[in-house]
Copies of this chain bind each other. A is one copy, B any other.
Amino acid sequence: MRLGLAEVEGGVAVLVRVSEDEAAVVEGIASLDAVFLGERSIVDLRAAAETALAGGRRIPLAEVAWLPPVRRPGKVLCVALNNSANPDRIMSGPDTPAMFVKPASSLIGSGRPIRLRQPMGRVHPEPELAVVIGTGGSDIPVDSAYDHVFGYTIINDLTSPTMRDTDTFHYRAIHPDPEAEDGIRYVDSWVSYPARYKGSDTFGPLGPWVATTDEITDPHSLRITCTHDGGLVTDDNTANLRFSVAEVVSFASEYLTLEPGDVIAMGTALKKSAKGGAVQNVDLNRLGGVIEVAIEGIGTLSNPVEWR
């Protein structure tokens, strides 16, 4: 099934997808967050969604005011440069997934505006598959990683290369040196800090649906497209991810305990489109317009740009 969250008649409701045009209201479950925090069980959620599918109140999708399906995840963990399409771009880097954290305050639902300001500089989309954790854990083996996945959604991991450049230090890091008089030596280093360039408000469009694992039997065979004002920007496939969902879940959980409701953004589909475009060319802060990310079997995440 595919589950979402929306504002309905002044309140918040969990929705289950009925068809391309219609959802049903899931009664008795306040939110997916409530389920992930343990206030209700996933079994309760599924039962309530089945009841809604069988005869619950219908809402036309055209009228839905979406919220992020998970509103306040413990963390949104994002994998960087996880695409096998462009290995020649990397001169040196880790042979394990490199990750950063996007704050929950950056998340918005489908249809909600991406709100930009001129000081943010260039802002481009990053169309990504996102994993929603259902069962937490640490040191999760690759073999059982999928047991921890609740479902899959879409994230547009908006990025400002301008703010990335600003928030980068070239500095002399202090390293221990037993030979030195004061016990330290300086090492020329570059370090960049992503809170603003990845985590500003509205930089995390998420949703609209979470497709549960029974709907997505293979998360690595999904077409993923990104369009800007209807024009194709990228057309890729999750088969091109360098590290798989199982590898990322397992590796991440060796260091950061995964909790129910955590979202893991799998990294950008970066393959160039037939038209020679690249996501980095779509400067939303200059162009405005509507940016959409569609993943086969999940849905379409669509957000307009507005300036504030």
Question: Of the 9-residue stretches A16-24, A40-48, A84-92, A206-214, which lies at the interface with chain B?
Answer: A84-92
Shortest distance between the CB of A52 and any CB in chain B (Å): 27
Cβ contact of A256, chosen from B182, B186, B190, B199, cutoff 8 A: B199
Q: Nearest residue in B to A122 (C-beta to C-beta)?
A: B176
Question: Of the 9-residue stretches A55-63, A143-151, A161-169, A293-301, which lies at the interface with chain B?
Answer: A161-169
Number of interface residues of A (CB under 8 A): 67
Cβ contact of A172, chosen from B91, B99, B104, cutoff 8 A: B91
A102 to B256, CA, bound (A): 11
Q: Which residues of B contact A106 (CB under 8 A)?
A: 256
A99 to B101, CA, bound (A): 11
A242 at the interface (CB under 8 A from B): no
Cβ contact of A174, chosen from B100, B105, B166, B278, cutoff 8 A: B278
A281 at the interface (CB under 8 A from B): yes
Beyond A89-B186, A99-B196, A100-B195, whether A256 also contacts B171 by CB under 8 A is no
A190 and B190 within 8 A (CB) = yes
A81 and B256 within 8 A (CB) = no
A200 at the interface (CB under 8 A from B): yes
A74 and B272 within 8 A (CB) = no
B195 and A168 within 8 A (CB) = no
B201 and A256 within 8 A (CB) = yes
Beyond A169-B80, A184-B281, A280-B176, whether A101 also contacts B98 by CB under 8 A is no
Q: Which residues of B contact A78 (CB under 8 A)?
A: 195
Q: Which one of A77, A169, A176, A255 has the greatest number of beta carbons of chain B within 10 Å?
A: A255
A93 at the interface (CB under 8 A from B): yes
A277 at the interface (CB under 8 A from B): yes
Beyond A75-B104, A183-B281, A281-B176, whether A91 also contacts B193 by CB under 8 A is no
Q: Which residues of B contact A192 (CB under 8 A)?
A: 190-192
Q: Which residues of B contact A80 (CB under 8 A)?
A: 169, 191, 193
A169 to B201, CA, bound (A): 26
Other A-B pairs, 12, CB within 8 Å; known A80-B193, A196-B255: A75-B103, A80-B169, A81-B169, A93-B169, A96-B166, A98-B167, A100-B100, A101-B101, A173-B280, A176-B281, A182-B278, A190-B192
Of the A-B pairs whose beta carbons lie under 8 Å apart in the complex, a sample of 30, sorted by A's number, is A72-B74, A75-B104, A75-B199, A77-B195, A80-B191, A89-B186, A90-B169, A90-B172, A92-B171, A98-B168, A98-B195, A100-B194, A100-B195, A101-B194, A105-B256, A105-B257, A105-B258, A105-B259, A120-B255, A168-B191, A181-B276, A182-B276, A183-B281, A184-B280, A194-B194, A195-B252, A195-B256, A199-B255, A201-B255, A201-B257
